[in-house]
Amino acid sequence: GMGLFSNGFIFDLLEPRYISWIKNPGKSITIAITAHVIYSSIIIFGVSWIYFGKLLNTPDGQFWNYYKYTLISVFVITVFITAIIYLKSFFKAYRNEAIEAEKLKQEAISLQYQIMQNQVNPHFLFNALNILGTLVDIDTQKSKEFIRELSLFYRELLNFKDKEIIPIQEEISFITKYIYLQKIRFANNFEVEILINENLKGNVIPMSIQMLLENAVKHNIITKNKPLKVTIGKLDGDEIFIENKLQPKKIVAGSNIIGLKNLQKRYKFLTNIEMIVEENNGYFRVTIPLIKLDE
């Protein structure tokens, strides 16, 4: 009995490394059943053979005939015990997965709200209207183009609010509108170099690259003497990087550290790969993994 109840101990050893009821249920049940059948068979037949066969001197040829019902009964009890272990493990994993999914869902809503709030806050609108007011007096055609790009930017922003992921090319198309609006504001003092092939496949979290661009604008000095260049490119693996030279402002209003942390958690959940945020040699770089639907 003690040997069979140690099935739980065996399962505890296997579970962290080999058992994943949510991601690989078929593989998990195969590993669990195989391990328990082998272990239980050794315990049941080993102990029974020592007790009945050796201590009670049962002839080897009569061993099965005498004790087959006892052994079958023990196997049935073992199945019942292991079924309880499996069910407990499965429901624990399912509960944790549901809690994590709900938590990430709330964080996703929070992140989308933060991004949208940043784009409709008085400071952003003030800058946009200021630029528009200047353009109307200088270049009517340019002001019309600015209004069109601003309206397209907000329309796409609203389209993204209910989406979990979007193709990388849609995100690139979206950030070009954001870049256009910032170029009107900063002229040649702000430059974004996009080194991503138009045939690149993969998905990203909506507005994630745009948010990182916005962080670069918000946290760095952008002047004629200190122009800001941001590079967006692809690494050898399925990863995108956004990098800029560090030209930190002394005072930054509305820092978005929470938004970055939320973004990290969501990419980790969707890809099981870390989103890396690092500062090296005077440069700030964020590396995000592409989301592959077939995985």
pLDDT in tens, 14-34: 777 777 766 777 777 787 778
Q: Output the DSSP codes for 88-100.
A: HHHHHHHHHHHHH
The closest of 82, 72, 76, 91 to 32, measured between CA atoms, is: 82
Q: Which residue has the higher pLDDT, 76 or 21?
A: 76
pTM beyond 0.75: no
Angle formed by the axes of helices 257-271 and 63-120, to 10°?
A: 150
- If you average pLDDT over residues 114-142, what whole number do you get? 66
CB neighbour list of residue 248: distance below 8 Å, 6 or more residues apart: 219, 220, 221
Residue 145 pLDDT greater than 90, yes or no: no
The closest of 156, 140, 153, 158 to 183, measured between CA atoms, is: 153
Per-residue confidence (pLDDT) for residue 120, from 0 to 100: 46
Confidence of residue 205 (pLDDT cuts 50, 70, 90): confident
Residue 123 pLDDT greater than 60, yes or no: no
Sort 69 into a burial class: Cβ within 10 Å, 0-12 / 13-18 / 19+: exposed
Distance CA 231, CA 241 (A): 8
Residue 121 pLDDT greater than 60, yes or no: no
| Structure confidence by residue, pLDDT tens digits, 158-188 | 777 677 888 999 999 989 988 988 888 888 8
The CA-atom distances, in angstroms, between 9 and each of 26, 34, 90, 132, 275 are: 21, 15, 16, 70, 36
CB neighbour list of residue 291: distance below 8 Å, 6 or more residues apart: 165, 202, 203, 204, 205, 267, 270, 271
Distance CA 261, CA 114 (A): 12
Confidence of residue 114 (pLDDT cuts 50, 70, 90): low
